[in-house]
Structure formats: C-alpha cells, structure tokens
Amino acid sequence: MESSPEVVTRLDGGVAVVEIRRGPNNYFNPTVIRTIADEFERLDAAPACRAIVLCSDGKHFSAGADLTGEMVEPGAAGRVYEQGLRLFGIGTPVVAAVQGRAIGGGVGLALVADFRVAARSSRFTVNFARLGFHQGFGISVTLPAAVGESAAARLLYSGGSVTGEEAAAIGLCDAVVDDEDLRPAAIEFASQFVGSAPLAVRSIKETLRGDLVRRIREVLARELSEQTRLRGTADFAEGVRAGRQRRDPEFTGR
C-alpha cells in the first residue's frame, strides 16, 4: 500500500511499516506530517493492524523540519504541530526505528512512538539551545516522560547529543541493535504485541498515557509562542549563522 511518494505503508503479519522516503536526511514539513497522521489513523482503524513501525529510508531517521519550501510559509510550524498532535492520539502501539541522526524535531517525531529501537551508530540530538531556539513538537512533555526531568533538562539546556547506547541507558530508546539489523529488529519488537487482545491493548495504552494529548496540546502553544519570540533575537540569528558556517556560536543574550 502506498499513500504518497514520500510516505509508504505496508502491512504484513499484523505489523504495519510506515516509511518516510525523503532521504538522506528525511526532513519533514506539514504535508509529510499530515500524511503520516493520515496513515496512522487509517491503520488505527484497521482490524488487521496490531502494531505500527515508523521508520525512514536513507542515512538519517530525521534531521528535523525542512527549512525550505512549505516551512518558510507563515504558520507552517503551527501546521506541523497541529498535524503532529494527531499522531499522539493513536491507540495502536507504535515503534520507531531510528538510524543515523535524529535531530531537533526529528527527536520529537521519534518520541511520538511508544517505543524506540535504535541502530548502534545512531545519535539523538536536541540542539535547540545551540541555535538560540526553543524546542517544539511536544518535546517539552515527551522527553521528560521518557528520560526524567533532570536528564531532559540537561539535554535541552546543553543542546546535547547522545549515542544509541547512551540513549538506551537513560530511557530514550528501548533497544539498541547493529545497524544492519535495525528494521527487522523493530518489526520483531512490534510483533510481540500482535498476539494480545487489541481492545485490551488500546485500553491499557489509553490508561498509561492518561491526559498526554491534552498536555501536549497545551505545551505546543507555549513552544510555538517561544519559538516565534526567539526567532526575532540576535542569538537566534547567530545560532543559525554559526550552524551554516560550521563553527561554535557566540551568543550575547540579545
């Protein structure tokens, strides 16, 4: 089954694989996130689907938002978050298969999943503070939920990066496998849910997640507001400039 050239879905043995095809970096925009959400909701309503694997082709899982095309239009970030919120309402278990880099919003996309299986060479980077920017995609809620408040704050304040092994140690991912085994391992991880009663799994997930969707909706408004405010600062301009020039930023607090 193929829904678009950029997001491809196949269902086999109760496990659906939803693959982003925007390699090598798999940047996302509102259309890509909307297409993933459409696929998730379609699969969530399909009795034959008991688990979903979210993955991507190319070198990296996702390097975050595509800062060209759609993403430069007014309100683009808000549209990404509006569509992204739909991903958190899925009752079917979701496993993300993370290879290469997950950067910025790419980490947010990985955190949509209930579980993450990472390649040994992978890295998770939440570089917002190194850009003079504020995190988005609900990371303010989902990252602390995965790793705890202290570890999340350390990563966010430092704009830091962790390897797949380090991510597993702090709870950011659930399994680390050799790079060549990533996709089969993620499918195998998801397959453990296929034999369970789907109504029970959905009920359990809803209980465990509680008011997650409401909390993410609320924090998205704060994230978007702060991103808009910080985008007008000299530090943000310096962070972007330094990133393009591949040098350390020199922030002034303005």
- CATH number of the domain enclosing 74: 3.90.226.10
CB atoms within 10 A of CB 243: 13
Enter the tokens of residue 34: 């909307």
Read off the pLDDT of residues 85-127 as tens digits, 9 standing for 90 and up.
999 999 999 999 999 999 999 999 999 999 999 999 999 999 9
CA distance 111 to 88: 9
**Domain assignment present for 140:** yes
Task: Kindly report the backbone phi and psi dihedral angles of residue 12, in degrees, each rounded to the nearest multiple of 5, phi listed first.
Answer: -150, 125
pTM of the model: 0.94
Read off the pLDDT of residues 30-57 as tens digits, 9 standing for 90 and up.
999 999 999 999 999 999 999 999 999 9
CA distance 64 to 186: 21
Domain containing 166 equals 1-180+190-253
Q: How far is CA 54 from CA 40, 42, 172, in A?
A: 9, 14, 16
Closest by CA position to 100, among listed 10, 161, 174, 29: 161
**Domain assignment present for 10:** yes
Whether 22 shows a pLDDT value over 90: the answer reads yes
How many domains is the chain partitioned into structurally? 1
Whether 72 shows a pLDDT value over 60: the answer reads no
**Domain assignment present for 185:** no
Q: Label residue 69 by pLDDT band (50, 70, 90).
A: low
- The mean pLDDT of 54-72, rounded to a whole number, is 85
